[in-house]
A and B are shown apart, each in its own frame.
Chain A
Amino acid sequence: MKNKECVAMLLAGGQGTRLKSLTKQIAKPAVYFGGKYRIIDFPLSNCTNSGIDTVGVLTQYEPLILNDYIGIGDTWDLDRKYGGVSVLPPFMQAEGGGWYTGTANAIYRNLKFLNQYDPEHVLVLSGDHIYRMDYGAMLDYHKGSGADATISVIEVPWDDASRFGIMNTDGDGRITEFDEKPENPKSNLASMGVYIFRWDVLKQYLIEDAEKENSSHDFGKDIIPALLYDYKKLMAYTFEGYWKDVGTVDSLWEANMDLLKKEPELDLSDQKWRIYSKNPNQPPQYIAPTAHVRNALINEGCRIKGTIDTSIIFYGVHVDETSVVKDSVIMPDVKIGKNVKIHRAIISKGSVIEDGAVIGDPSPDSEITLVADEGSVLATSYATNS
């Protein structure tokens, strides 16, 4: 078989502890977003739209739902005869084995997977971000500049720069220095966690890193600094557009609310760059005579009898009469009874909200309330397998 020009490796093993109970039973990339999607739909759709047809998905934490969701990759058109999507969990070997100990370790342990495609370049992605990006354009930049590695960066507000991994560059976009969460940032170019490496270079550094006992086997902490130390050519590729880390309950809520802005920066309806997602096969949504719906995204299978204001409603949600849902995200198959008030909340999949329940704090800037599968008096939950 012909070798592949570029193979993507998607790091999807993270727990996402800052998403609290949303990730109690599922891996972070499987968390729901935008009325229809899971976070992992964004990098996988970006791959297929960018013409990258070979993706390894590295799983570790709570992989059941993620494995089931990825399946053979047909959702993203990644069911290919040669290439396509492969789920790569940690495994045992003759000489031992065990869990992935870091992002670089996860790739290192799958050298065999990459070798079978003998790619020229490897695209490393994470399953933590909501964005639409043409990796093909980044690959062109990477090849054109002759870089050993290219790191995608985005300009962040200077005030926020100390929360990110910051790349300091020279006038030509060559990275001179990498500062992880610097107190006094010298630049506002934040790493997006999207890397393209020349495979021969990356392979060498992964093998060397694996032998270092004191290494944390992490791209940001070990591999990138080692490349910089050796004066390898690292280029910064500046991405313009919407990019959001949805690693916390607040940022997940905010990113959902961003979709309801008058001209949302992230256009989910662009026919040329579709975000693909598994289809739940439900009938169209029904808006009853008693309903009031404004400023909302609503998905199929919903039955709305109450008031929905500035909210995201996933598929299969029922909202009964006289209930009000405002500034909230309601995940799939939630059943909301009568006379319920929900403000500034995320209600997780399958929750049942009983009549008269009051959830969340309507005052602006209040903390976002998370109603999760377990531990809530108001909500009981059931698991379904989608």
Chain B
Amino acid sequence: MDRIAGIINLDHEQDMLDELTYFRCGAAVPFAGRYRMIDFAISNMTNSRIESVAVFARRKYRSLMDHLEQGKAWDLDRKRGGLFILPPDWNDPTDISRGDLQHFHNNIDFINRTLANYIVVSGSQHICNINYQDVLQEHKSSGADVTVVYKKVDELYPEHQRAHKLDVDQDNRVTAIHNDHSNNNVYMDMYIIEKDLLYSLIEKCIAHGCSHFFLDGIKAKLPEINIHAYEYHGGHALVNSVESYYRNSAKLLNPEDHDELFKDDAPVFTKIKNEAPSNYTATSNVSNTMVANGCVIEGHVEDSILFRGVKVAEGAVIKNSIIMQRCEIDSNAVLENVILDKDCSISNGKTLIGAPEKPYVVAKRRTM
């Protein structure tokens, strides 16, 4: 039986979400009412029967460790395998590896020891619901060395500029990887590769002083390496800026977009908070809003997302906003086009209004 192990490589992900990534990496940013960005990447692995997952983290990963704990929420508290949060080893003076190769090199034991014969490597910025067993099947039948995952997006947004694009021939073989802004074959930062090949490519990269495994070890080797392209058809969002975060969050209020991402047979797992059901009082007025558990809503909320444990007092008005965990909105406050990070409180009568294309972002634990 083929087995897959997973690596979530955060090394090249820039923390571009302004206030939301002041104190945490992008993978730890709360998303969709009760999740963190990385929950989607890990749940995809769990739902694909991957029982061993390493997270390559370098910066601002305190909040990530707090969230992931022992991996229990993703069923990754295993005796064999399970979840590993692995920073690079900063203390080895003989280490000549650079960039994310440092991660691969320092944590080579993870690759060596796993019983899996295939490795899936993904980032955390492409939100999707993908089954890597399907990717593996296509990878095997294509006979390719590496299979990369891409999404043909309907419309190119600014966030896609930073993503790599693929030129794909009629046999779904990748002919070029580049940044051409007019190409809508967006590479989703995910690939599957046989373990032994991964191992030898890592060795070569380190020997040649490379610092980016995918670009130097795989992309640069085209066409001598056979790269197959797997087209992903499900719901997809690339979140790498406040603007893309805000727009893709709002998209989840559309039930069709929502159901593309959240499926009964492939649920998204997250750390459990044991909150009570949300309480809507007699004065509440809620419309087109996603509400997580533990909220107490006495005021008016529309076209918004409320995370767990948010309190909205009577007379408060919230529109087109994202309110994160445990924020408290006092009476007669007005919030429109606002993103409140966790634990903020908005006092009585305060008004905060952002622009529809540029929301007003309030950093964690602020009182306004």
Q: How far is the CA of A281 from the CA of B294 in the complex (A)?
A: 15
A237 within 8 A of B: no
Given contacts A283-B268, A286-B290, A287-B288, contact A298 B255 (CB under 8 A): no
Q: Are A34 and B277 in contact (CB under 8 A)?
A: yes
| Segment from A19-27, A170-178, A239-247, A288-296 that makes contact with B | A288-296
A303 within 8 A of B: yes
Closest residue of chain A to B277 (Cβ to Cβ) is A35
A300 within 8 A of B: yes
Given contacts A279-B272, A299-B293, contact A288 B280 (CB under 8 A): no
Q: How far is the CA of A303 from the CA of B82 in the complex (A)?
A: 34
What mask results when residues 202 to 225 of chain B are scored 1 for a CB within 8 Å of chain A, else 0?
000000000000000000000000
Q: Are A287 and B293 in contact (CB under 8 A)?
A: no
Chain A contributes a number of interface residues (CB within 8 A of B) equal to 34
Q: How far is the CA of A354 from the CA of B269 in the complex (A)?
A: 31
B32 within 8 A of A: yes
From residue A108, how far is it (CB to closest CB) to chain B in Å? 35
B279 within 8 A of A: yes
Q: Are B258 and A286 in contact (CB under 8 A)?
A: yes
A284 within 8 A of B: yes
Q: How far is the CA of A294 from the CA of B297 in the complex (A)?
A: 9
Instruction: Return chain A residues, CB-CB under 8 Å to B284.
Output: 293-294
Our pick among A275, A276, A282, A286 for the contact of B253 (Cβ within 8 Å) is A286
Chain B contributes a number of interface residues (CB within 8 A of A) equal to 37
Instruction: Return chain B residues, CB-CB under 8 Å to A298.
Output: 277-278, 280, 291
From residue B121, how far is it (CB to closest CB) to chain A in Å? 26
Q: How far is the CA of A11 from the CA of B25 in the complex (A)?
A: 48
Closest residue of chain A to B289 (Cβ to Cβ) is A287
From residue A283, how far is it (CB to closest CB) to chain B in Å? 4
Given contacts A283-B34, A283-B268, contact A303 B255 (CB under 8 A): yes
Instruction: Return chain A residues, CB-CB under 8 Å to B291.
Output: 284-287, 298
Query: Which chain B residues in 247-306 approach chain A with CB under 8 Å?
Result: 253, 255, 258, 262, 267-270, 272, 274-294, 296, 302, 305-306
| Residue of B253, B258, B262, B282 most packed against chain A (CB within 10 A) | B282
Given contacts A269-B275, A295-B280, contact A287 B287 (CB under 8 A): yes
Q: Are A283 and B262 in contact (CB under 8 A)?
A: yes
B26 within 8 A of A: no
From residue B86, how far is it (CB to closest CB) to chain A in Å? 26
Closest residue of chain B to A274 (Cβ to Cβ) is B274
Query: Which chain A residues in 239-286 approach chain B with CB under 8 Å?
Result: 262, 268-269, 274-277, 279, 281-286
A36 within 8 A of B: yes
Query: Which chain B residues in 1-45 approach chain A with CB under 8 Å?
Result: 32-34
Our pick among A36, A274, A281, A303 for the contact of B277 (Cβ within 8 Å) is A36
A189 within 8 A of B: no
Instruction: Return chain A residues, CB-CB under 8 Å to B33.
Output: 283-284
Instruction: Return chain A residues, CB-CB under 8 Å to B269.
Output: 281
From residue A73, how far is it (CB to closest CB) to chain B in Å? 14
From residue B151, how far is it (CB to closest CB) to chain A in Å? 21
A151 within 8 A of B: no
Instruction: Return chain A residues, CB-CB under 8 Å to B272.
Output: 279
Q: Are A283 and B258 in contact (CB under 8 A)?
A: yes
Q: How far is the CA of A207 from the CA of B24 in the complex (A)?
A: 61
A353 within 8 A of B: no
Instruction: Return chain A residues, CB-CB under 8 Å to B288.
Output: 287-289
Closest residue of chain A to B302 (Cβ to Cβ) is A289
Query: Which chain B residues in 113-162 approach chain A with CB under 8 Å?
Result: none
From residue B289, how far is it (CB to closest CB) to chain A in Å? 5
Query: Which chain A residues in 92-140 approach chain B with CB under 8 Å?
Result: none
Q: Are B282 and A36 in contact (CB under 8 A)?
A: no
From residue A321, how far is it (CB to closest CB) to chain B in Å? 12
A297 within 8 A of B: yes
Instruction: Return chain A residues, CB-CB under 8 Å to B279.
Output: 269, 296-297
Our pick among B255, B274, B286 for the contact of A291 (Cβ within 8 Å) is B286
Q: How far is the CA of A275 from the CA of B277 in the complex (A)?
A: 11
From residue A166, how far is it (CB to closest CB) to chain B in Å? 34
Q: How far is the CA of A269 from the CA of B305 in the complex (A)?
A: 20
Q: How far is the CA of A233 from the CA of B255 in the complex (A)?
A: 63
Our pick among B281, B283, B287 for the contact of A289 (Cβ within 8 Å) is B287
From residue B25, how far is it (CB to closest CB) to chain A in Å? 23
Binding site for B on A (CB under 8 A): 34-36, 262, 268-269, 274-277, 279, 281-289, 291, 293-300, 303, 308, 312-314
Which are the 3 A-B pairs with shortest beta-carbon distances? A284-B33, A35-B277, A268-B276
Q: Given contact pairs A284-B292, A284-B306, enumerate 8 new A-B contacts (beta carbons under 8 Å).
A: A282-B262, A284-B305, A285-B290, A287-B289, A294-B281, A297-B276, A298-B278, A312-B277
Between A and B, 29 residue pairs with Cβ closer than 8 Å are A34-B276, A34-B277, A36-B293, A268-B277, A275-B276, A279-B274, A281-B268, A281-B270, A283-B262, A283-B268, A284-B306, A286-B289, A286-B291, A287-B286, A287-B289, A288-B255, A289-B287, A293-B284, A293-B286, A294-B283, A296-B280, A297-B280, A298-B277, A298-B280, A298-B291, A299-B277, A300-B292, A308-B280, A314-B277
